[in-house]
């Protein structure tokens, strides 16, 4: 079994799927590791480091792909953009791919996988079960996203986060609201608290209140009938439009008090719910900052534009205590915020990857137990077809598959 590692080609993607420290772990699974020269440079990992750990370095991308039985990548499929089909066509027929693949929409790369009878495992589909925690790329990367979002906000905000008492006077702390208390939200709360801000948090799942308060933040309560607000996979469940309308009404006064808002509410495969309207933004203090971590899925903030900074003028009479904000609120919509932490993001992703590989590799060969809950959830392509009928329809590929072990 030859495992290939290539340089990510999507613009702005600086992570690498396997770091040098984990090459020996892959080799213990009976696999040979081929690395495209420069694959890890953007993340801070040099070819020499891979070679020292036992990987083979090839200068030619096409040569790596042609010799690869199993390709590991940060992004493939729809997640890798226009270049993904080209790389998949360069892989041998029957090869396998393990990566984040955005398996919720049609894309040419899925037709290539089908036509070349290649296996594909989408890591975003890992089930939220105890055994899969060490493979959960969404959680490991979201943790870093929450941290990075607060740092971006602190840089953009014309205020300090902490209280500061000096001979020249007292600086009052900034007020931060985190919307969505998943992995990213919890890390955002913890980071903002460490920086000294007054932090509040809101989530439609009342069960997260204890987690919020354990980090020293205030849980924002709203008179809403949340019902079963959590899906079986541990994610927030999508609610109806009437629920979101009522939620926005109740949130208006909370938003007006904040200097920073971090929004993280996303539902895998769905458009992100709009929780902060433009009207709410206009009611904030000049100079306030919003970092919308759901920008790639449409955004939780109405004016959000992916990978842009949008300035929204504040309404007349809004509190001007935010300083030199030039009368506007700045909204940041980063689509790949963890790329700014590529060294550690790659390290965590790589550990997730190696743990997943240990589930499908034995003695240097693929051993696919389709009855395994993790395999059943993540395998989106096998032998030219998608095992899940509904997903096959979404991806635009044939449906099929058999039970048992390969």
The full set of domain ranges for the chain reads 2-135+342-395, 143-335
Tell me the per-residue pLDDT of 11-64, one tens digit each, with 9 for 90 and over: 999 999 999 999 999 999 999 999 999 999 999 999 999 999 999 999 999 999
Catalytic residue among 9, 211, 235, 246: 235
State the pLDDT at residue 247.
74
Interacting residues of 180 by C-beta distance below 8 A, sequence separation 6+: 202, 203, 236, 263, 264, 265, 266, 293, 294, 300
**CATH class of this structure's domain 143-335:** alpha beta
- Active-site residue, from 60, 105, 131, 133: 133
139 among known catalytic residues? yes
Choice among 128, 209, 218, 237 that is catalytic:
128
Is the CB of residue 290 less than 8 Å from the CB of residue 260? yes
Q: Is 53 helix (H, G, I), strand (E, B) or coil?
A: coil
Among the listed residues 76, 114, 118, 139, the single catalytic one is 139
| Contact (CB, 8 A) for 275 and 246 | no
Sign of the torsion angle spanned by Cα atoms 154, 159, 163, 168: positive
Q: Which two tokens stand for residue 344?
A: 């550690």
Alpha-carbon distance 154 to 367, whole Å? 48
pLDDT in tens, 290-336: 999 999 999 999 999 999 999 999 976 555 444 444 599 999 999 99
The CATH number that domain 2-135+342-395 falls under is: 3.40.50.720
Residues 115, 128: Cα–Cα separation, whole Å: 31
Q: What is the pLDDT of residue 320?
A: 46
User: Is 136 designated active site?
Assistant: yes
| Residue in 87, 136, 292, 388 annotated catalytic | 136
Judge if 2-135+342-395 and 143-335 fold alike in CATH terms.
yes
Q: Yes or no: say if 110 and 396 are a contact pair by the CB < 8 Å rule.
A: yes
Question: For every one of its 406 residues, what pLDDT tens digit does the chain have, with 9 covering 90 and above?
Answer: 999 999 999 999 999 999 999 999 999 999 999 999 999 999 999 999 999 999 999 999 999 999 999 999 999 999 999 989 999 999 999 999 999 999 999 999 999 999 999 999 999 999 999 999 999 999 999 999 999 999 999 999 999 999 999 999 999 999 999 999 999 999 999 999 999 999 999 998 888 999 999 999 999 987 665 555 555 555 555 666 677 777 777 788 899 999 999 999 888 788 998 899 999 999 999 999 999 999 999 999 999 999 999 999 997 655 544 444 459 999 999 999 999 999 999 999 999 999 999 999 999 999 999 999 999 999 999 999 999 999 999 999 999 865 444 4
C-alpha triplet 237, 239, 241: angle, nearest 5° = 160
Helix orientation angle between 137-156 and 183-194, rounded to the nearest 10 degrees: 40
Residues in the chain: 406
Three-class SS state of 320: coil
Active site residue 203: no
Q: Within its chain, how far is the Cα of 78 from the centroid?
A: 15
Residue 178 token pair = 């985190």
d(C-alpha 52, C-alpha 35), whole Å: 12
Q: Are strands 70-75 and 2-5 parallel, antiparallel or unpaired?
A: parallel
Q: List alpha helices for 226-334, DSSP H.
A: 241-256, 278-282
Which among 138, 173, 175, 134 is positioned nearest to 355, based on CA atoms?
A: 134
């Amino acid at each position: 079994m030859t495992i290939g590692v290539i340089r990510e080609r999507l613009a702005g993607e600086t992570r690498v799927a396997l770091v040098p420290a984990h090459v020996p772990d892959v080799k213990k699974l009976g696999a040979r590791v081929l690395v495209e020269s420069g694959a890890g440079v953007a993340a801070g990992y040099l070819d020499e480091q891979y070679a020292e750990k036992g990987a083979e370095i090839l200068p030619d991308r096409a040569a790596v792909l042609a010799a690869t039985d199993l390709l590991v990548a940060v992004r493939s499929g729809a997640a890798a953009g226009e270049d993904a089909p080209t790389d998949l066509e360069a892989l041998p027929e029957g090869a396998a791919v393990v990566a984040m693949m955005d398996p919720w929409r049609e894309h040419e790369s899925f037709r290539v996988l089908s036509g070349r009878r290649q296996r594909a495992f989408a890591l975003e589909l890992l089930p939220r079960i105890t055994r899969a925690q060490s493979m959960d790329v969404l959680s490991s990367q979201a943790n870093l996203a929450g941290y990075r979002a607060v740092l971006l906000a602190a840089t953009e905000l014309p205020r300090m986060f902490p209280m500061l008492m000096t001979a020249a006077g007292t600086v009052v702390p900034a007020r931060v609201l985190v919307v969505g208390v998943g992995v990213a939200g919890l890390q955002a709360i913890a980071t903002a608290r460490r920086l000294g801000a007054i932090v509040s948090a809101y989530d439609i799942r009342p069960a997260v209140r204890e987690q919020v308060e354990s980090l020293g933040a205030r849980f924002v309560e709203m008179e809403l009938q949340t019902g079963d607000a959590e899906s079986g996979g541990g994610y927030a469940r999508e609610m109806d439009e009437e629920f979101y309308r009522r939620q926005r009404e109740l949130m208006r006064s909370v938003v007006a008090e904040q200097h920073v808002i971090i929004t993280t509410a996303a539902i895998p495969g769905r458009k992100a719910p709009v929780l902060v309207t433009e009207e709410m933004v206009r009611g904030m203090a000049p100079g306030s900052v919003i970092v919308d971590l759901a920008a790639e899925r449409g955004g939780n903030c109405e004016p959000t534009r992916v990978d842009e900074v949008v300035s929204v003028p504040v309404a007349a009479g809004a509190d001007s205590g935010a300083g030199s904000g030039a009368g506007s609120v700045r909204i940041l919509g980063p689509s790949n915020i963890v790329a700014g932490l590529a060294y550690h993001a790659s390290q965590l992703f790589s550990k997730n990857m190696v743990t997943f590989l240990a589930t499908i590799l034995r003695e240097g060969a693929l051993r696919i137990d389709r009855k395994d809950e993790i395999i059943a959830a993540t395998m989106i392509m096998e032998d030219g077809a998608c095992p899940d009928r509904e997903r096959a329809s979404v991806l635009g590929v044939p449906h099929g598959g058999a039970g048992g072990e390969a």
